[in-house]
Amino acid sequence: MKINWSGRLRRSSLIFLLRNFKTKNMRRFFILLLVFMAGLTVSAQLQTNAGVEYLQNIQKDMSTDFSDLANTYFLADSLSSFDVAKAEGMVNWKRYRLSPRQAFNLNGYWPVRMRMLDFPDTQYDNDPNLRIRLRFVNDRTVRVTMLTSPIEPKDNDSQDPMFAPEFIAANPTSSAWKATETADAIRYIGPYGMIEIQKYPWRLIIRDTNGRILTQSRAIIDNDSTQVKLLPFCFIKRGSDNSRSVNPVFLLSPGERIYGCGESFTSLNKVGQKVHLTVTDPQGPETDGMYKPVPFYFSNRGYGIFMHTSAPVTCDFGASYIGAQRLFMGDETMDFFIFLGEPKEILDNYTNVTGKSPMLPLWTFGTWMSRITYFSQKEGLEIAANLRRYKIPSDVIHFDTGWFGVDWQCDYQFAGDRFPDPVGMLRSMKNDGFRVCLWQLPYFTPKNRFFQELVDRGLHVRNGNGGMPYEDAVLDLSNPQTVSWYQDKIEGLVRQGVSAIKCDFGEAAPFNGLYASGKTGMYEHNLYPLRYNKALFEVVDRVTRERDNVAAGEPSGVIWARSAWAGSQRYPLHWGGDAATNNIGMLGDLRGGLSFGLSGFSFWSHDIGGFVTASPEDIYRRWLPFGFLSSHTRAHGAPPTEPWLISESFTDAFRASAEMKYKLMPYVYAQAKLSTEQGLPMVRALFVEFPHDAGAWLCEDEYMYGSQILVAPLMESVTKRTVYLPQGKWIDYQSGKVYSSGYQEIEAGDIPCVILVRDGSLIPHVPVAQSTNLIEWDKMTLTPYKADAKECTGYIFRPGDTKVSVTTK
């Protein structure tokens, strides 16, 4: 009997087949075979990632698409034409397929030239010529765009939320780049480096001013004659749906180190790692997942790259081949901004494109007191009273998930039975020097009272059938009507007197969703945190400015956000997520904060002591100075977080760290202002300040707090630790002892942390105040920290000042 398995079997056919099998065993075998094949059909429909079934919203590994034998591969081959004056032309791409290859019983793959079988063959190009374009943004920045399709995409820069409005309005160009052409290459020479396009084999080469190659794209001839260890610069056309994705591949040099990519909790140097730039909820800072991936990185060799895309990217920085950085992009277009310079210069220019963090109000730099969660007006007022009773300087009380009526069903209204007079509470707290922050999220469960309204009005992310991808309604923040609805709800709270809103979650925008922007989740998933941050920050900033008559140019708005993408730094601030209450949680937060700062964000915080369970006193105690010597400071997590509920000695320790920061508030505020002007982080990797000190590039458990104070937290239960000190002398902030550069074993002081001041620093202090609105700026003093320095320099910026003043002594 001949059976055709090419299509579905009808019910009548199955009955016929079963009746014609001669024995019961044959019929039983046939039924089992059908069940097995049905299972194969179901399995084939499941989305997989390197053979592993996807779970909802986990990271996407884009590299697996680039070893799929069903795809067609196009390898960048040569420059077919180019207009040097316009800096644009065509790259010829050769068509290949991957063929399995056996070599002494090792099966690998080999790229084989391919003659297309597309029909009608006269309508398509076997080896297409596709657009490349260079734009010279400024003396240190070049934009390189390469297409994988003959269809020119629309110029949507003006609508792109990743770009800073100032960048869009200015549309900057530089005339400093001069072109030269030879038979082999076209070279554009700028004040700080060169961009070269080699004609054959095609390469994009980045050089310094001396002509040294910083990096260059890989070509097929870079593989040896016996093995293809990796594919070169290429793009794919998928056999599944003809969609395209590009894979830029660049040289990774011996000794090269890569930094950035967002709030990454793994080692700061990304060389040897495979980094997935997909917004996800990693459930804390202890894994390789990221709440805040950013498609930007830079090298210690003097260049940086912003991959202008919102599609997922997998960056293989020497993980699969030690000599290559392989950028597996979901996007069909390569749109790269290339920056030249040292870390400070690269960060400055990157944030010229995507925006710099705005300055934040003074009160935000004070202590934020919170737990999971305060449930009532009475409890909130008691916490505020105890902070004053125990003389713990503080400025913010945060109500987490317990301020509305039903847990997890945020309806933007204080629970009437537990908050009888919320406006009166807010007024009372502000009179006592406290601002109030409230929690919320962008997901609405079916039991939320707004659920049906969101569905009826179509304000949620939809699936392909017009319904919902999830049980929850997820706000579609690419829809202006949704943004208006959402901001209206937030505005009501701010007008009552709320000062900050926690921008929680945002990592679960449906990948399979359809959005009002016209895009799918492939491009909107990673953009969701940016749209979320923007919508929330803008309404808080606008309404606060109106409510409090904040003068033009003065800071007013703030949010407390968990997720982010490129451009989110314009809507501060962000915190490090749900850390474990142990040494690893603390280490993960520190690495994450440093990496985040190396990705263009000036401000960042974390939950002191960790989040998930009640923090052991030893961990909490050692975490305190790290928390208070961050740009922003919040105690939050499983109770108790309030120091007076732990012990008298711990209350004293908490108070000591808080008083230290409040005394240093003039330093904190001035360094914050400088950071926003230069695109620099407050919590700063050592090499940002000391790029020519080789040892500074190796440190990832200590940091610069601004430009003049070095902080080395105690990562274990010890009283001293080894600290690397960059060039120059360093003065212990607590003991006054002087240390030379290099590795030093240093005792922590009464505050359990090593805190050192750079020789030649002039640090401003004020008397301790219980809240920032009570700081006596007229009593500010300047303390010189001098060992070998002949002169000390300090920075002053008071509320109301228009610029930072520099003073010497």
Catalytic residues: 504, 507, 578
Rounded Cα distance, 90 and 83, in Å: 9
Strand duo 633-635 + 367-369: pairing: parallel
Q: What is the CA radius of gyration of the chain?
A: 29
Bridge partners (DSSP) of residue 720 are 747
Q: Is the peptide bond before 204 cis (omega within 30 degrees of 0)?
A: no
Rounded Cα distance, 791 and 600, in Å: 31
Buried-exposed string 431-450: b where 16+ CB fall within 10 A, e elsewhere: eebbbbbbbbbbbbeeebeb
Bridge partners (DSSP) of residue 744 are 723
Longest distance between any two alpha carbons in the chain, whole Å: 104
Rounded Cα distance, 710 and 734, in Å: 12
Rounded Cα distance, 601 and 572, in Å: 8
| Structure token digits, residue 462 | 């939809």
Taking the CA atoms of residue 384, residue 390, residue 396 and residue 402 in that order, the dihedral angle to the nearest 10 degrees is -50
Q: Could you give phi then psi for residue 480, rounded to 5 degrees? A: -55, -35
| Helices within 458-598 (DSSP H only) | 480-496, 521-524, 528-548, 583-597
Rounded Cα distance, 259 and 232, in Å: 23
How many C-beta atoms lie closer than 10 Å to residue 200's C-beta?
Answer: 14
Q: Which amino acid is at 341?
A: G
Identify the CA nearest to 538 among candidates 486, 574, 576: 486
Q: Could you give phi then psi for residue 517, rounded to 5 degrees? A: -65, -15
Q: How far, CA to CA in Å, does 632 sit from each of 212, 360, 559, 683?
A: 41, 10, 12, 10
Q: Is the peptide bond before 201 cis (omega within 30 degrees of 0)?
A: yes
Rounded Cα distance, 131 and 147, in Å: 5
Taking the CA atoms of residue 708, residue 709, residue 710 and residue 712 in that order, the dihedral angle to the nearest 10 degrees is -170
CB 280 within 8 A of CB 58: yes
> Which single residue is written with the structure tokens 């690269």?
346
